[in-house]
Structure 1
Amino acid sequence: MKIIDAHIHLDQYKNQTIERIINDAEAEIAVSTNLESSKRTARLSKNYKQIKPAFGYHPEQSLPSERELAQLISWIKTNGREDAAIGEVGLPFYLSKKNQLHQPIGQYIEVLEAFIMTAKELDQPIVLHAVYDDASIVCDLLEKNSVRKAHFHWFKGSKAVAARLIRNGYNISITPDILYEEEIRQLAETFPITSIMAETDGPWPFNDPFKGKLTRPNMIHAVINEIANIKHLNRNEVYVQIFVNTRKFYFSSQ
């Protein structure tokens, strides 16, 4: 059955590892974390037809200067192919939780809105790192800028926030921890199957059946099987629906 890894940091793998895993899936949505990461992702996407690149600045780090942000957005507008996406961008939930924010949260929100506006200008999908209460702030920004093609990767949040995402027609993606994390299992049950994609967030490591294993796109098969079990749906139909969801979200312009 065909699969797409809806969120993976391929630029963080060694070249020989990419060669080993690239054919695991029909396609991989390869996200970036800063300008240099975006440039490597762009190079990889030229070498491998399976890669759809996404360019952005990951929020769980010190923010770029105004000059660096302008340089990155200018590079995206100049070098971003028509089939690219914006991401990974969002808000620093985990830094904030550890009281390790490098700048005031308002500055992170301003940077995120700059990327949201870029996504709107380029008419590209946007890949978001936004969990729990941060997801509500991001929804405010998306609604303000009339951006609807939003992918909340590895989403976690309350029933109220989940309902807002569903109401707005946003997509989420489920990771391999659905096999052992009750919170993720409940979200898979809550969201309609038409709003769900599957991802690895590789090279992020996972536990239980995946402990000690290289994170690679073929783990998506276990994710889809578990989604089918949780939602009491036909396994083959879930494979098809999640594949269709991801192609429609990321490749509908092709």
Structure 2
Amino acid sequence: MLLLYDAHVHLTDGEYSGYISHVISSLYAMKIVACSVAVDLETTKKSFRLFNDHKKVVRQFVGIHPEFAAREDLDKFVQVARENMASVDGIGEIGLDGTYEAERGVPYGRQKQVFCAMLALAESTGKPVSIHSRRSLDDILAILPSYRLQGALLHWFAGSKKQLAKSMEMGLYVSYGPALVYSEDKKVLLKHTQRDRFLVETDGPVRYSRCFEGKPALPTSFLPSVVASAAAVLGVTYGEAAEMTARNTEAFLGSQQL
């Protein structure tokens, strides 16, 4: 069995363009599987070009991120996704963001329209979803029961303990990233998360100023530290935490309908 899974990373981001072949080689060498998320049609097409020949170490998620909901041609995206569904392992990164309307001019209503279309695509194709939920978690928790999804991940979970409990009741997965190394809030949330419902991620190429010297996140260099931090929080060994997160991610990727 492969050792580790990075549940959410942006390997199609331009930050990796100069050395993506080295990243892929490192994934093979370290037995890490990366769930690479796209954010629009351009990165979706790029994902197919880069990773169709690397299915052993890259799971391809394609979707329209809420940041780009206003600019993307929704019908065109769905057409391309359906035409390439044999290469698609999940739908993401999708979701809602309560800050984008005021800060970036992306209407919240349009975000909801695109998010629901992405959920419908996931439902009709039997794919799991990777969800962005900043300042929108209550709305997302209200929307999800309208769809029968294979698996749903609230990536980079940052809700309250009450919202976490609701997410667990709904059978959702949540993921924690490098902030788990230093954030007491994240450690508290992990302690309250069901052990069969948490995943680990890097969200690369995000940079973490409080750890890893502000370098862009990589699955091969950052993920082991996240797993080690999770192990410390849960009072288990590194190997047990690695096995737990691998088992959980495999269930998320191929779980039965909720």
Q: TM-score, normalised by structure 1?
A: 0.90
Letter in 1 for 2:170: N
Q: Distance in 2 between matches of 1:112 and 1:213?
A: 31
- 8 Å contact kept, 2:3–2:32: yes
Q: Map of 1:127-166 to 2, 5 A cutoff? A: 127-132=130-135, 134-147=136-149, 149-166=151-168
SS, match of residue 105 in structure 2: coil
Q: Distance in 2 between matches of 1:115 and 1:6?
A: 19
Q: Which moved more, 1:176-185 or 1:102-111?
A: 102-111
Paired residues, what number? 248
> Structure 1 residues 9, 58: CA separation in 2 closer, same or farther (over 3 Å shift)?
same
Q: Distance in 2 between matches of 1:187 and 1:112?
A: 26
Q: Distance in 1 between matches of 2:38 and 2:97?
A: 16
Q: Distance in 1 between matches of 2:166 and 2:218?
A: 31
Q: Which of 97, 114, 118 pairs up with 1:115?
A: 118
2:51 alignment counterpart: 45
1:17 alignment counterpart: 19
Q: Distance in 2 between matches of 1:175 and 1:94?
A: 21
Measured after TM superposition, the shift of residue 36 of structure 1 is 0.6
> Structure 1 residues 148, 248: CA separation in 2 closer, same or farther (over 3 Å shift)?
closer
- 8 Å contact kept, 1:56–1:86: yes
Measured after TM superposition, the shift of residue 62 of structure 1 is 5.2
Deviation track 1:115-138 (CA, whole Å, cap 9, x = no partner) reads: 111100001001100134x11211
1:75 alignment counterpart: 80
Ranges of 4+ aligned residues in structure 1 off by more than 6 Å: none
Q: Distance in 1 between matches of 2:32 and 2:212?
A: 22
Q: TM-score, normalised by structure 2?
A: 0.89
Which structure 1 segments of 5+ residues have no match? none
Letter in 2 for 1:86: I
Q: Which of 95, 98, 107 pairs up with 1:93?
A: 98
Aligned-residue identity in percent: 25
Q: Distance in 1 between matches of 2:69 and 2:237?
A: 45
Which structure 2 segments of 5+ residues have no match? none
Letter in 2 for 1:169: G
1:55 is aligned to 2:47: no
> Structure 1 residues 77, 227: CA separation in 2 closer, same or farther (over 3 Å shift)?
same
Letter in 2 for 1:57: I
Q: Distance in 1 between matches of 2:208 and 2:200?
A: 15
Q: Which moved more, 1:244-253 or 1:226-235?
A: 244-253
**Over aligned residues, Cα RMSD in angstroms?**
1.9
